[in-house]
Homo-oligomer: A and B are copies of this chain.
């Protein structure tokens, strides 16, 4: 127990007393110390209170005397004992705490000051009782509990007013209204208090004062949660006002909150309850009418209407529908499902794996729980947290104002790890560039086949038994892609572009519906029966571990040939229209042995050499591998000697290290987190002890064999702040994340480098 704001003079606290100050007590002390008029206040720890009570039962008076001396410090010059207020002072905002107990008469004798049947001591006891068990400072509940604080203050006379130190939406320096209700005209001295608190706290504070005869008396303050936008504007404003250095601002803004600024989002979740929860696989919110197929989605779009494509799961045939829709909602599939991948690429909000939903596409009806929905009914989805709402909820559009630009600019000054993006279209590359991407770390080449015309050619190449027909298809595909690559390289203006060779199993590109199969068979001159047989043989039990990645390059060398030709032709075309040399990096995915890398390397360099560009100054060429399998990590030394760079595919590496298919994980991951088996979802934040050690092993062995080896991280984890901090400690050269995550990575990596 000690006076943190005595009625007269300074508090003169010891270092150990200062350390105990938490919650409001801290702000009262700091404001009082700064010389601003503050209501007289005593802070009483639970440990002190319990010692007082123990002493009382022992009929001792030593501590009581000290306590009463403290209470006397609340008495001002007029020497009239004030009425008292008892309030809690929790370190974190906590429902269930006692609200301030006002107007308690000062105790009239010494025993009254400690007897819990009397008003003051009773209020203090109730305040301590309203705390939970421990506040989590040290993780040792008993110790934490002893540090809980109750405040005893003089009652302040005058009008009690509450306000924010800064505007909750714009971040402008206050005083600002708390709940939209207008504020009274404050005396000028409030501005000094606001500036004082803002500088001390470095965040929005909710402040309580008493105003009497133009005098402002500070009562208490606590931090207030505001939107990411307001936080950010405030941070930049503090730099402008020289309260903070730019470096302070960079280190104090929470990178995870930046994403809220970069996607449409629900204006408010107050008073709305989701009707279902799925996985948020592509962030942002979307509202619109339900459609069940691509045609209806296109129709809605043509009419300028927002729509949500609702399906059991998506496949290549749905791509046009997905592009036309505002958002996507699926009953199945996970983060790496077709729906998830395409949604993130196209920037569409997507909620997947809604287990309480079923869709009957032919009947054009879907059920979510007990409810039935038909085309035209309205839904809102939030791909950031996986929630699904009834009706059309109001959305806020992304706001990329000057503040975020300034902050990121400052952050680049202290950042040493490059930030690239995962992109394969000029559109998404441009978005990423506008967010500050320094290259493309992952261009998933297979996405260049995601259009009806190219899909037909690709199918022809895979399925046709007619040699000539096949080679026509290959040539057609080379032509298509050459333009794509040329445009992508040009858009990146000499920044590095890493093209990953074809990765997914071929069957993902083949027809599925009866109609589609019949059409394809007819176009190839195959019997439907024969085509079905071939499709059946291409189907896989565990496609994640199947015929994909480098295995395709080795078994279908014509695919590798076609891709390399297109990449080199694209590089040539781009190099002829710009001053900067084109920087092409070819990357082979899903390798598990050095022999696979050697096989592909030989052919890649043969084609690259054949293009005549390897010795040209107009093109910089590099060859590398994805490292995404445990065996590749162990054999990293052998592999490193054959490549210029490693890029860790942390999604697949997490899947294989844990033996978890991300698409199938939702059925047990929820139970795992509920039962405390996993602390966090390893697909969201990198598992440092397992997958992390794998990466560490690979980096050590890789760099030992090839000191020039460049090391990158691509995959979802490259956009997650916790994971980025870990990668930064491993000494990687670059990370590559989705365009909307580039700002998050820039800021996080600036914080870890500082």
A interface residues with partner B (beta carbon < 8 Å): 312, 332-333, 337, 355, 358, 533, 536-538, 540-547, 551, 554-555, 590, 592-593, 595-596, 599, 628-631, 634-635, 652, 655-661, 663-664, 667-668, 671-672, 675-678, 687, 689-691, 693-694
Contacts and interface: CB of A to CB of B under 8 A. Distances in A.
A455 to B, nearest CB: 21
B545 A592 contact: no
Copies of chain A in the complex: 2
Contacts of A678: 593, 595
Contacts of A592: 657-660, 690
A751 to B, nearest CB: 28
A210 to B, nearest CB: 52
Contacts of A668: 547, 551, 554-555
A664 B540 CA distance: 6
6 contacts: A554-B671, A592-B657, A593-B677, A629-B659, A631-B657, A635-B689
Given A547-B664, A656-B657, A660-B592, A675 B634 contact: no
A660 B545 contact: yes
Q: Which of A332, A555, A630 has the most CB of B within 10 A?
A: A630
A595 B677 contact: yes
A677 B545 contact: no
Given A656-B659, A677-B595, A690-B634, A545 B547 contact: no
A-B pairs with the 7 shortest C-beta distances? A542-B661, A545-B661, A631-B690, A546-B664, A630-B630, A629-B659, A542-B544
B545 A544 contact: yes
Given A545-B542, A690-B592, A659 B652 contact: yes
Contact of A694 (B355, B634, B652, B672): B634
A640 to B, nearest CB: 15
Given A664-B542, A664-B546, A693-B634, A675 B355 contact: no
A333 B536 CA distance: 12
A736 B305 CA distance: 64
Nearest to A312: B536
Contacts of A538: 667
Contact of A543 (B542, B628, B675): B542
Contacts of A687: 631
B659 A545 contact: yes
A694 B632 CA distance: 12
Nearest to A551: B668
A652 B656 CA distance: 10
A595 to B, nearest CB: 5
B599 A677 contact: yes
Contacts of A677: 554, 593, 595-596, 599
A661 B543 CA distance: 8
A699 to B, nearest CB: 15
A240 B689 CA distance: 59
A543 to B, nearest CB: 7
A659 B543 CA distance: 10
Given A355-B537, A545-B660, A656-B659, A675 B599 contact: yes
A693 B664 CA distance: 29
B671 A555 contact: yes
